[in-house]
């Protein structure tokens, strides 16, 4: 009987380590899955889907076309309409994931201006600087 008493604390200790190990493993799995469920693929290209530009007219259509054509640029640009704070958007590309970009002139302006600058060969850093200098004053 004294041997059973000696084994119980050891068995409880082993169970505790198993539970702690399982919790650590689950934490790592959750962290990795949340991190990898981001908005880019293994090559760093955005995977966030945007709405079809054909659903819209005018400037909204141009902006959604920009999101479709240069998602890698818009994904690196902030938006200054307040959607990053109020809707959880991470960048300007998010504005075109749903119909928010159809109603927001500021989101459209950023996307269209970015597309125009991209077409002239400006780097993402140059585009970001111009966007910041032009629109940061509108930030909430």
Per-10-residue mean pLDDT for the chain, 140 residues long? 55 70 53 45 75 97 98 96 92 95 97 98 98 94
Q: Compute the distance between CA of residue 106 and CA of residue 82 in angstroms, rounded to an integer.
A: 10
- pTM for the full model? 0.70
| Domain ranges within the chain, ordered by starting residue | 1-37, 53-138
pLDDT at 111: 98
As to burial, measured by CB atoms within 10 angstroms (0-12 exposed, 13-18 middle, 19+ buried), residue 99 is: middle
Q: What is the 3-state secondary structure (H, E, C) of the chain?
A: CHHHHHHHHHHHHHHHHHHHHHHHHHHHHHHHHHHHCCCECCCCCECCCCCCHHHCCHHHHHHHHHHHHCHHHHCCCCCCCCHHHHCCCCCHHHHHCCCHHHHCHHHHHHHHHHHHHHHCCCCHHHHHHHHHHHHHHHCC
pLDDT at 25: 56
């Amino acid at each position: 009987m004294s041997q059973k008493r000696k084994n119980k604390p050891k068995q409880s200790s082993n169970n505790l380590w198993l539970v702690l190990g399982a919790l650590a493993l689950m934490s790592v799995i959750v962290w990795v899955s949340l991190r990898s469920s981001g908005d880019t693929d293994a090559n760093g290209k955005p995977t966030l889907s945007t709405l079809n530009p054909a659903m819209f007219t005018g400037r909204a259509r141009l902006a959604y076309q920009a999101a479709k054509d240069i998602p890698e640029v818009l994904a690196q640009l902030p938006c200054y309409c307040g959607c990053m704070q109020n809707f959880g958007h991470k960048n300007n590309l998010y504005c075109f994931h749903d119909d928010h970009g159809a109603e927001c002139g500021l989101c459209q302006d950023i996307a269209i201006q970015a597309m125009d600058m991209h077409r002239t060969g400006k780097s993402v850093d140059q585009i970001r600087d111009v966007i910041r200098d032009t629109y940061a004053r509108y930030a909430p």
